Chain A
Amino acid sequence: DQQVKQNSPSLSVQEGRISILNCDYTNSMFDYFLWYKKYPAEGPTFLISISSIKDKNEDGRFTVFLNKSAKHLSLHIVPSQPGDSAVYFCAATSYSGAGSYQLTFGKGTKLSVIP
């Protein structure tokens, strides 16, 4: 049972326009949500996160919105740049005991920004 879902495997956006990547989750015990960006042949790098008690977090061109009632979050990139082309993973953390948190990932969305 997939607890974090990214239903769009790919997205193409024109340079300068907005990219919106979506993510749905089923586990109401998740307390933090994160977005990771991954280039081919590299490990994922942290992009932005949001606490479950907030509904918006902004960092430069990146904004994450959380709708807890709908169990939905989205990442907005404005304006999109060719260097943003990568696979974006939505992830959520839950407490797994012994002082540790576990990350659950979605399957990823490949973003292509067209110059």
Chain B
Amino acid sequence: DVKVTQSSRYLVKRTGEKVFLECVQDMDHENMFWYRQDPGLGLRLIYFSYDVKMKEKGDIPEGYSVSREKKERFSLILESASTNQTSMYLCARSHRGGYTFGSGTRLTVV
């Protein structure tokens, strides 16, 4: 089974802090995604990446950036965290149309 691992299950950060959310997959798959999930809004795509050093904006990229230096690792960066970025963040990888999600990181910005 493919594993997608998100380094933190719960994070609490202060407003204005730079925040890194890490995601690692254990297969050599190209496509990786970052979503956020909010009640009543479902899953919304922030950024995705087709390969190393490639990135594409999703539906809600504002306030976020990403890094893909190695194929297995896709990092989401909040340059200056704000309270409206309090959310559940989900990383996913896809291969031949199938998606596998990580367990999620619950980020609270205070």
Contacts and interface: CB of A to CB of B under 8 A. Distances in A.
Which bucket holds chain A's interface residue count? 20 to 34
B31 to A, nearest CB: 5
Contacts of B9: 41
Given A41-B9, A41-B106, A89-B42, A103 B94 contact: yes
Contacts, number: 57
B48 interface: yes
Nearest to B106: A41
A60 interface: no
Interface string A41-63: 11111100000000000000000
Interface string B53-94: 000000000000000000000000000000000000010101
Chain B interface SS verdict (over half): strand
A45 B104 CA distance: 12
Contact of A101 (B37, B94, B100, B102): B94
Nearest to B49: A100
Contact of B97 (A32, A98, A105): A32
Contacts of B41: 107
A45 B48 CA distance: 19
A85 interface: no
12 contacts: A38-B37, A41-B104, A42-B103, A43-B104, A44-B43, A46-B98, A46-B100, A89-B42, A98-B50, A100-B48, A100-B50, A102-B45
Interface of A: 6, 9, 32, 34, 36, 38, 41-46, 89, 93, 98-103, 105-108
